[in-house]
Amino acid sequence: MSWTQKILRVNLTEGTCTAEALNMQWANDYLGQRGLASKYLTEEVDPKCDPLSPDNKMIMATGPLTGTMASTGGRYSVITKGPLTGAIACSNSGGFLGAEFKNAGWDMLIFEGKSPEPVYLWIENDKTELRSATDLWGKSAWETDDILHQVHQDPQVRIACVGRTAEAGCLYSGVINDKHRAAGRSGVGTVMASKNLKAVAVRGTLGVGNINDMPKFVEAINAGKAVLAENAVTGQGLPTYGTQVLMNVINGVGALPARNMKNAGFEGAENISGEAMHEPRASDGKPNLTTNASCFGCTIACGRISTIDKTHFSIENKPEYWGASGGLEYEAAWALGADTGVDDLDAITYVNFLCNEDGFDPITFGCTVAAAMEMFEDGVLTTENTGGIELKFGSAEAFVAAAEALCSGEGFGQDLALGSKRLCDKYGRPELSMTVKGQEFPAYDPRGIQGIGLNYATSNRGACHVRGYTVASEILGIPVKTEQTDTDGKPELVKAFQDATALVDSAGLCLFTTFAWGMDNIAPQIDGACEGDWSVERCLEVGERIWNIERQFNNDAGFTSNDDKLPKRLLEEAIKGGPTDGQVNRLGDMLPKYYEIRGWTDKGEITDETKQRLSL
């Protein structure tokens, strides 16, 4: 079974918490977490609703393996209609919160309506109640976490909350749990704050024991752990360097975008790389990286715990930032660093701390500042717009000032809170927003890696690498090497990655396991935990069903094939120099084939035949 088969429905307008049975038919068709919550969302929310209105709902969902001893089995996701994109949003987080939900006996929490006053949800196993959060409103995510731990007098309480940026309506605020893990993208935290829901605090002591076939499950998860330990990426690369192992690799293959994606290749990449995080610094002889760290149940331990140089200008007078906290992951280091041209490791670590402390997405923030920097250098923005900040590419001082402006919610911070699409629209330069469906690109240049461009264009939550990480194949050769500049075979590759990822995101497992695991490692773990036959084929079919139900939500919300596109810069302005010199993304060569193999019309609509095949 593995599901607790219980959902908590929280009506914030009425102030009620009601337990209800999980729809097991849907669980069998959509597994859990991302898939199952997407099914609930599509059944309960009008795709055309205003994402920040009480009509939208926000779902926090675990997977069947969340809270079990499967490696990485601690994930949860936040599913809602996203305010940054207007598309379905699903942001996945690690840490310890998801497992705590499960230990408290809940598969899923559905939040609906809007509370008249700020509240937080307190869950202690079966006991659930909304409590006043009036005194928490205006506090950062870190302060909120500390205060709730004091209130509940239990260090084992796990907390998810929003910071000040979400309260101020920043469109890319995340939900922060365990202080430095985040359901980070698409503005899911902005939705949470729009409901006057400040935090969810959970204590679960019931345990997770409802495994369908325990001996089979234990055998499968032990086999999985052995594969992770023996694999070079999950056994060595990720624990040592985290995802930052990629900075020098991606730069080396000519696919690291720099300065608002004006070009690929960043001369300062080494200074902000995973390797640099190990280098002792001059002031105290300590490296940026204090230790690696695991999320719940994870035997990879890619997490970074870092400190900032106490003598660095950003924190020299701020002792509250002198301790260790969540350090740079690759995407954050790229967006905060390479895309803004800033190669100051301490400055971007500090801004990364702010992202966690006040709950905003480092990818969208970094890219938004990068777009603003380009407009500043073009003279479209001046110091009058920026509140005096000399917002030039490469200026660590300007970048830090921009981050602090966002946290303050005032002045230029209000512009930055819009995200790059609205910001560039506002100042009449829409072509400078590096986005798909309004969401900013991550750290792989689609001109230098063709397949990832198709994935960005078709990702259901807007530009995103973790919807179909074809970089694994196109650069790292996992599971097989494909040529990064080829378009042949890429539609098939993208579809395969997207469907498999949808399944992993619905199981309670971390996507990073798939550097080592194939579906033949994952399916047996689900099969041991859940009732019914969970073969590789069924897992892939469920993944494809999930992809299509998300697509249907977006189509019903008004998205069309016109939204499956890349910015003109990436289609027309070729990379200059380096290993990918002369390349643009050839999306037009891939998209029609992609629609065809998805079983969609040439307008990107799901055909009746495909709906029937997938029982949608």
Interface contacts to other proteins, rule CB under 8 A: 67-69, 71, 96, 99, 103, 156, 179, 204-209, 225, 229, 239, 290-299, 301, 303, 305-307, 323-325
Token couple for 267: 């001369």
Of the pair 293, 475, the CB lying nearest other proteins is at 293
Token couple for 54: 């009480």
- CA 97 to CA 75: how far, in whole Å? 8
Helix (H) or strand (E) holding 76: strand 76-81
The three-state secondary structure class of 81 is strand
- CA 209 to CA 1: how far, in whole Å? 9
Minimum distance, C-beta of residue 23 to other proteins, in the bound complex (Å): 24
Of the pair 235, 413, the CB lying nearest other proteins is at 235
Of the pair 299, 473, the CB lying nearest other proteins is at 299
Minimum distance, C-beta of residue 547 to other proteins, in the bound complex (Å): 30
CB 444 within 8 A of CB 255: yes
Of the pair 69, 571, the CB lying nearest other proteins is at 69
Of the pair 6, 611, the CB lying nearest other proteins is at 6
Of the pair 65, 249, the CB lying nearest other proteins is at 65
CB 550 within 8 A of CB 606: no
Minimum distance, C-beta of residue 219 to other proteins, in the bound complex (Å): 14
Per-residue three-class SS string for 18-67 = EEEECCHHHHHHHCCHHHHHHHHHHHHCCCCCCCCCCCCCEEEEECCCCC
Minimum distance, C-beta of residue 86 to other proteins, in the bound complex (Å): 36
Minimum distance, C-beta of residue 418 to other proteins, in the bound complex (Å): 32
- CA 452 to CA 463: how far, in whole Å? 10
Minimum distance, C-beta of residue 101 to other proteins, in the bound complex (Å): 13
Minimum distance, C-beta of residue 239 to other proteins, in the bound complex (Å): 8
Q: Which residue has the tokens 């990818």?
A: 363
Minimum distance, C-beta of residue 178 to other proteins, in the bound complex (Å): 9
Token couple for 509: 């497992």
- Cβ burial of 514 (10 Å; 0-12, 13-18, 19+) is buried
Q: Is the peptide bond before 479 cis (omega within 30 degrees of 0)?
A: yes
Closest CA to 65 of 111, 2, 16: 2
Of the pair 24, 214, the CB lying nearest other proteins is at 214
- CA 234 to CA 74: how far, in whole Å? 17
Of the pair 42, 290, the CB lying nearest other proteins is at 290
Of the pair 349, 561, the CB lying nearest other proteins is at 349
Minimum distance, C-beta of residue 73 to other proteins, in the bound complex (Å): 9
Crossing angle (nearest 10°) for helices 141-152 and 345-358:
50
For the beta carbon of residue 130, count every other beta carbon within 10 angstroms.
19
Closest CA to 185 of 195, 194, 175: 175
Q: How far apart are the first and last CA of the chain?
A: 23
Amino acid at 460: N
Token couple for 336: 């905060």
Of the pair 213, 397, the CB lying nearest other proteins is at 213
The three-state secondary structure class of 224 is helix
Of the pair 96, 266, the CB lying nearest other proteins is at 96
- CA 471 to CA 480: how far, in whole Å? 11
Minimum distance, C-beta of residue 1 to other proteins, in the bound complex (Å): 13
Minimum distance, C-beta of residue 113 to other proteins, in the bound complex (Å): 32
